[in-house]
C-alpha cells in the first residue's frame, strides 16, 4: 500500500469516526473537498498524519468542532450571481404571486446572506407579509451568526453593487443599520425567516414548500449523495414548485430530470411538473 493509499484509508476512518461520535456524515462528500480541508487542518495543527487527527477528534471536542467548521461550506454573499437574482425576479416571482401563502426553503444557508437577499426580493415584490423563509444549515455556529444578521460594514459596498446589478431599485442602505464596523439587518427582514438546524445528508423532508434554493452546495457531494438530496428536494416541493440550483449543478444526469421543466436553463431554475 502506497503512502497515498494509506492517507485515503486514514481519511475514510476519520470520517467514519466523526459520524459515529458526533453524528455528522461527510462520508459521501466530494473526496477532493474533504481531503483538502482535512490535510489543511493537519498542517495548521502541527500533526504528522491523519491518524493523529482521528485520535484528537475522538478525545477533544473543541478540536472536533474546528474540524467540523473546516468541512462545512460557509462561503456566501448577498445577491451572489446577479444574473441569477434577475432571473428570480423575472421568472420565479410571477409564479409565487399566484399563491395566497408562500413557503421558501433555503437549504444550506450558511451565515444567511442569501436568505436575507431573498427576503429583500420578496419585500420589494410585495410578497413578504405572506411568505415564510425556512433557512437551514447543519452548522449551528453559522446559523447563530445568520440569525443575528450582523455583517461587516466593509462588505456592504460590494453587496450594494450586487444588489443593483440584480435588479434592485431601492437604496440598499434602507435594509440595514450601520453600527461602527458592522451593520445589522432590519427586523422587518428577519421577522418571517425561520432559522433551523437541518442536515441534508442525514435528515428527511423538512417541509412542503413552493420554492427551494440550494446553490453551490451539491457540488461538494458525490453522485450518490447528490441523487439522495435531489430526491429530498423533489419530495419537499409542491406540484408546480420551483427548484433553484447553482450554476455548476444540474438535474441532467439524475433520475428526476424528466420530472421538471426548465424555467431558466442557464441559471439552473426548474419547475416541478404536475
Three-state SS annotation for 117-154: HHHHHHHHCCCHHHEEEEEEECCHHHHHHHHHCEEEHH
Residue for grid cell 491523519:
50
Distance between CA atoms of residues 62 and 193, nearest Å: 30
Q: Measure the CA–CA gap between 2 and 127, rounded to whole angstroms.
A: 59
Average pLDDT over residues 14-23: 90
Average pLDDT over residues 139-150: 93
Please report which helix (H) or strand (E) contains residue 185, including its range: strand 182-185
Across the chain, mean pLDDT equals 92
- Range name among 60-74, 92-106, 118-132 with the lowest pLDDT average: 60-74
| Residues 42 and 14 sit within 8 Å (Cβ to Cβ) | no
CA angle 69–185–77, rounded 5-degree value = 45
Burial of 273 (0-12, 13-18, 19+ CB in 10 A): exposed
Question: Residue 187 has what pLDDT?
Answer: 96
Q: How high is the pLDDT of residue 115? A: 97
What's the pLDDT at 65?
84
Q: What is the number of alpha carbons within 13 Å of residue 26 lying toward its C-beta?
A: 27
User: Which residue would you say has higher pLDDT here, 168 or 74?
Assistant: 168
Domains plus CATH for the chain?
3-71 (no CATH), 82-272 (3.40.50.150)
Q: Output the CA angle 181-183-187, nearest 5 degrees.
A: 155
pLDDT-derived band at 74, boundaries 50, 70, 90:
low
Where is 19: in which H helix or E strand? Answer: helix 3-22
Entry pTM:
0.84
The answer to whether 185 touches 116, Cβ cutoff 8 Å, is yes
What torsion, rounded to 10 degrees, do the Cα atoms 13, 111, 199, 119 define?
A: -160
198-232 residue pLDDT tens? 999 888 887 899 999 999 888 888 888 888 999 99
pLDDT at 216: 83
Q: Is the dihedral of CA 76, 15, 40, 140 positive or negative?
A: positive
B/e letters for 60-81, b = 16+ CB within 10 Å, e = fewer, are: eeebbeebbeebbbeebbbbbb
Rounded to 5°, the CA angle 129-134-139 comes to: 145
Residue 2 confidence (pLDDT):
81
Is the pLDDT at 137 greater than 70, yes or no? yes
Q: Which residues contact 144 (CB under 8 A, 6 or more apart)?
A: none
pLDDT tens figures, 232-245: 999 999 999 999 99
- 3 state DSSP class of 217: coil
65: CB partners within 8 A, 6+ apart? none
Amino acid at each position: 500500500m502506497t503512502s497515498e493509499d494509506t492517507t485515503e484509508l486514514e481519511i475514510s476512518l476519520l470520517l467514519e469516526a466523526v459520524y459515529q461520535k458526533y453524528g455528522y456524515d461527510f462520508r459521501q462528500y466530494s473526496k477532493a473537498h474533504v481531503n483538502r480541508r482535512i490535510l489543511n487542518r493537519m498542517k495548521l495543527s502541527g500533526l504528522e498524519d491523519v491518524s493523529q487527527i482521528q485520535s484528537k477528534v475522538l478525545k477533544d471536542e473543541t478540536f472536533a468542532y474546528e474540524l467540523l467548521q473546516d468541512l462545512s461550506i460557509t462561503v456566501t454573499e448577498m445577491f451572489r450571481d446577479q444574473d441569477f437574482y434577475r432571473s428570480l425576479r423575472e421568472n420565479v416571482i410571477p409564479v409565487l404571486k399566484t399563491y395566497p401563502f408562500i413557503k421558501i426553503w433555503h437549504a444550506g444557508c450558511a451565515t444567511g446572506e442569501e436568505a436575507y437577499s431573498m427576503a429583500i426580493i420578496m419585500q420589494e415584490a410585495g410578497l413578504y407579509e405572506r411568505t415564510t423563509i425556512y433557512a437551514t444549515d447543519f452548522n449551528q455556529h453559522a446559523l447563530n451568526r445568520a440569525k443575528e444578521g450582523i455583517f461587516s460594514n466593509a462588505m456592504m459596498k460590494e453587496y450594494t453593487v450586487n444588489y443593483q446589478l440584480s435588479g434592485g431599485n431601492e437604496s440598499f442602505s434602507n435594509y440595514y443599520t450601520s453600527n461602527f464596523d458592522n451593520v445589522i439587518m432590519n427586523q422587518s427582514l428577519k421577522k418571517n425567516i425561520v432559522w433551523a438546524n437541518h442536515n441534508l445528508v442525514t435528515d428527511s423532508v423538512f417541509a412542503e414548500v413552493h420554492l427551494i434554493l440550494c446553490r453551490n452546495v451539491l457540488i461538494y457531494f458525490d453522485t450518490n449523495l447528490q441523487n439522495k438530496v435531489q430526491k429530498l428536494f423533489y419530495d419537499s416541493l409542491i406540484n408546480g414548485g420551483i427548484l433553484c440550483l447553482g450554476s455548476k449543478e444540474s438535474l441532467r444526469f439524475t433520475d428526476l430530470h424528466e420530472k421538471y421543466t426548465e424555467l431558466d436553463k442557464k441559471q439552473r431554475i426548474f419547475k416541478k411538473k404536475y
